[in-house]
Amino acid sequence: MQHEETVVDVEGRHVRLRRLEKVLYPSTGTTKAEVLAYVTAVAPALLAQLRQRPLTRKRWPDGVGSSSFFEKNVPRGMPDWVRTVELEVPGSTKDRERIRYPLVDDLAGLVWLVNLAALELHVPQWRVGPRGGVRAPDRLVIDLDPGQGAGLPECAEVALAVRERLAGDGLECHPVTSGSKGMQLYAAVSGEQDADVLRAYARRLAEELEKDRPELVVSRMTKVLRGGKVLLDWSQNNSAKTTVAPYSPRGRHRPCAAAPRTWEELQDAGALRQLTLEEVAARYARDGDLLGDLGPDADPGPRVPTS
């Protein structure tokens, strides 16, 4: 018989859990309890990516075979120990509309969210300050999205070209397979330039690579242009946009996660594939956090060139 509800102690917080045996991934029978075990296993690394970033969640209350929805505002019944921040909705008239986001910085908060079937955790490239103000972005993201007929091998080829191009500007990037189709590349930046500067830099990079490798790279989202190519999505650096957090589960057919990878793995692109929750947890236990240079306590990166 399925237990409907239990209260657990998570690092001194009481968290109420419901229906732990509920299947969230029907293709593999993966349960809520197993997803909770995964986020617990990778919690230090995942929390480093979430800390001080307003959190948007994508929830699948009845599992990935059913409907889902994005949620920005804190949900009803939120524990009083979850920190929050209230921010203006990007693009709205000043003070006309605001959203109260959760700020998740401990394991209890992660467990609470996964209990709500929040399988995907999406964050911006900027953090909030100690008094709630929005800081300049502390990382650049390059989203590599393969069009029809392309896949991870093509993404890996583009990623290696991006790596070389960024290195010429003093930026060190880190690859993350998305857990869906493509991958992201992250690079620490100074935190002294606003999102518009980073977005313009990423756009120049995309257009230059498209010019150099027109058979492989596209910088425009028009679908008719993307067959067999990889979209280098520079727009993800817009301050209003979010990207799935590294180590977050994904709400796809298989229980995969956004997984930090090594550059050696990308050299062997034919063997590259998206990794399951179990695989990501095992790699973290073995190798530690491959994104330590992108955590909240890491040294800032360089400024990006503005021309």
Task: Look at residue 1 in the predicted model and tell me its pLDDT.
Answer: 41
* Sequence-distant (≥ 6) Cβ neighbours of residue 225 within 8 angstroms: 218
Using CA atoms, how far residue 67 sits from 23, 60, 70, 117, 248, in Å, is 14, 6, 11, 12, 19
Give the pTM: 0.94
Q: How far apart are the first and last CA of the chain?
A: 64
Q: Check: CB of residue 147 under 8 Å from CB of residue 218.
A: yes
Tell me the pairing of strands 230-233 and 56-59: unpaired
- Residue 65: other Cβ atoms inside 10 A: 12
Q: What is the pLDDT of residues 97-150, one digit of tens each?
A: 899 999 999 999 999 999 999 999 999 999 999 877 899 999 999 999 999 999
Task: Look at residue 96 in the predicted model and tell me its pLDDT.
Answer: 54
Q: Which residue has the tokens 């349960």?
A: 31
Task: Give which of 163, 180, 181 is closest to 172, Cα–Cα.
Answer: 163
Q: How many CA atoms lie within 13 A of 129 on its CB side?
A: 6
Q: Where are the domains of the chain?
A: 5-123, 139-294
What is the fold of 139-294?
A: Alpha-Beta Plaits (3.30.70)
What is the fold of 5-123?
A: DNA primase, PRIM domain (3.90.920)
Pick out the chain residues at pLDDT < 50. Answer: 1-2, 92-94
Q: Which residue has the tokens 């102690």?
A: 9
Task: Look at residue 3 in the predicted model and tell me its pLDDT.
Answer: 57
- Asked if 5-123 and 139-294 have one fold, the answer is no
Beta strands in the chain, from DSSP E residues, in sequence order: 5-10, 13-18, 23-25, 30-31, 56-59, 69-71, 83-88, 98-103, 118-123, 139-146, 173-177, 183-188, 217-218, 230-233, 243-244, 259-260
